[in-house]
Amino acid sequence: MLTFRPIQKRDISLLRPYYGGDSCLCTKALGVEYMWSDHSGSEIATYAGGIIVKYRFAGVEMFAVPRGEAREEGMRLIEEYVRESGEELIFNSVDDEDFRFLASRYPAIELKSHRDYDDYLYLAEDLRSFKGKKYHGQRNHVNRFMHDHPNYVFSPFGKEELPRIFAFLEEHKALSPRSEGELTEYACCERLLDAFEELDLLAAKIEVEGKIVAFSVGEVLGETLIIHIEKALPAYSGVYPTMCTLFAQAFSKGLTYINREDDSGDLGLRMSKTQYHPIRLVPKRRAYCRVARKFLFPTVFTPRLVVSEITKEDMPAYAALATDEERNRFWGYDYKEDLGEDAPDAAHFERVLAEDEARGICYARKISDLSGKFIGEAVLYNFRLDGSAELGLRIAASEAGKGFGREAYAAVADAALPLFGRLHARCFKENEPSRKMILAAGFLPVREDETFFYFRKEGRK
């Protein structure tokens, strides 16, 4: 069983051989890993031939894809750990190479990302030169700063300058009231600077008449210069674009890209970083990895309903339910994501259901009244390594408000629990009827995030 411990400064030399490569994602850089490790609850575990990093966000554990030569052994250890915990198998900051590796192992992967945490990626030459019409504004700001402060000094700095840099950070922090998120970022900046000697950082400052008015810190990752910190005193007009281009000129020669990291949802930062014309946004994707599970599910009867296999004759009604966008705004999945060239008709959904069940990743069953009329579906999916599954349900708009959902959900949960030992459920926070339906079926709340309430029901296999 893996044993994790918090990342300490003394671990940097241990971690260094496992970082690097060609990824342009900032979280693949050792400096970022260490800088944010307190905030993200990062912990490490070592094993023969590699390391595993575990994170905790909003009470949810997730992992980096194992680093080192023995990745397969690392995956086995992660799977063993998750099987014991009964939680979802989630990998954080998944780049394209990570995704290819995970896709070769798991039959179903759900990728999620949030615009607030997408990295801004630029061509290094663009920021070195600010050439062209699109950078007219930046050039004007730089010229203004250099005109107002002709004796400015740009210079790299080392550990001997850190006391002045820390004092500058305190001055910058005190300029205006700071949000909790901003204060967290300052703490992370201080954590990074405190490990200046241990990390391979690039750093430079701008001084005006002996006063530090800006500084920036970064590191090189493959063909990319990652900018970890960029702080300047706003009273010095044009100092931010000046620092940006001078830092690029000093440290990005021979490199292809500059990554200025994300904007954390700050609208001012978003506007500023967009104005520097990124070539693309690089998402920090999370991969929710699902296993396959083959099982036989019995027909379920209630006083008013039957839950049974979906037949070809049911498919027109099923397609109507699946494409009812108003009804499905709280379903959590948009059928158009996988539509491709297909028409959203009965044939498309019949094929998708058959493929999902053949792969063992999703089982849909129809909910009908005693006359056989299709009124909704129950779905067992998101099979976890501990053998548990998630239960979802949706009812056609014409049948809403009759208590069919609550009746079917409780019955299916009771029938499925002996097969899986544990069931999971979730609902959008705005969906109060769904929350009540899940609770009425005996599920207990376990956590929540910005979007969902999460529930669990335990049983015996």
pLDDT band at 126 (very low <50, low <70, confident <90, very high): very high
What is this structure's pTM?
0.88
Q: What pLDDT does 152 receive?
A: 98
**pLDDT for 375-429, tens place per residue?**
999 999 999 999 999 999 999 999 999 999 999 999 999 999 999 999 999 999 9
What's the rounded mean pLDDT across residues 237-261?
98
Could you give the CA distance from residue 249 to residue 17 in angstroms, rounded to a whole number?
28
Quote the tokens at residue 110. 């759900």
Same fold, 5-113 and 291-458: yes
CA-angle at 394, arms to 391 and 400, nearest 5°? 140
The pLDDT tens digits for 161-218 are 999 999 999 999 999 888 998 999 999 999 999 999 999 899 999 999 999 999 999 9
Residues in the chain: 461
pLDDT at 461 over 70: no
In sign, the C-alpha dihedral spanning 374, 378, 381, 386 is negative
Looking at the domain 119-282, which fold is it? Aminopeptidase (3.40.630)
| CATH code at 5-113 | 3.40.630.30
For the residues 50-79, what does the mean pLDDT come to? 93
Q: Which one-letter amino acid corresponds to residue 394?
A: R
What are the residue ranges spanned by the domains of the chain? 5-113, 119-282, 291-458
CATH class of residue range 291-458: alpha beta
Assess contact for 305 and 367: CB atoms under 8 A: yes
Contact 262, 284 (CB under 8 A): yes
